Amino acid sequence: MIMDGPGRIGPYEIHAIETGSFALDGGAMFGIVPKPVWEKTNPADALNRIEMRLRCLLLIDRAAKRVLLVDNGIGTKWAEKFMQMYRIDHSQWALDRELARVGLTPDDVTDVIATHLHFDHMGGTTRRVNGELVPTFPKARVWVQEQNWNLAYHPNEKDRASYLQENFDLYRGNPKLELLQTEYGRSDEIAPGIRVRVSNGHTPGLQLVEVADSGSALIYCADAVPTATHVRTPWVMGYDCFPLTMMEEKKKLLGEAEERGAILFFEHCPRMQAATVFHDGKDFSIKQAYQFR
Contacts to Zn ion by CB under 5 A: 118, 223
Q: How far is the CB of 111 from Zn ion (least distance, A)?
A: 20
Nearer to Zn ion, 154 or 282 (CB): 154
Q: How far is the CB of 130 from Zn ion (least distance, A)?
A: 30
Q: How far is the CB of 278 from Zn ion (least distance, A)?
A: 26
Q: How far is the CB of 202 from Zn ion (least distance, A)?
A: 6
| Nearest of 33, 55, 133, 48 to residue 85 by alpha carbon | 48
Nearer to Zn ion, 28 or 286 (CB): 28
Q: What is the dihedral of CA 115, 5, 230, 37, to 10 degrees?
A: -150
Nearer to Zn ion, 60 or 116 (CB): 116
Measured CA to CA, the distance from residue 257 to residue 262 in angstroms comes to: 5
Position of minimal CB gap to Zn ion? 118
Measured CA to CA, the distance from residue 47 to residue 126 in angstroms comes to: 29
Q: How many CA atoms does the CB half-sphere of 236 hold within 13 Å?
A: 19
Nearer to Zn ion, 61 or 159 (CB): 159
3 state SS of 241: coil
3 state SS of 193: coil
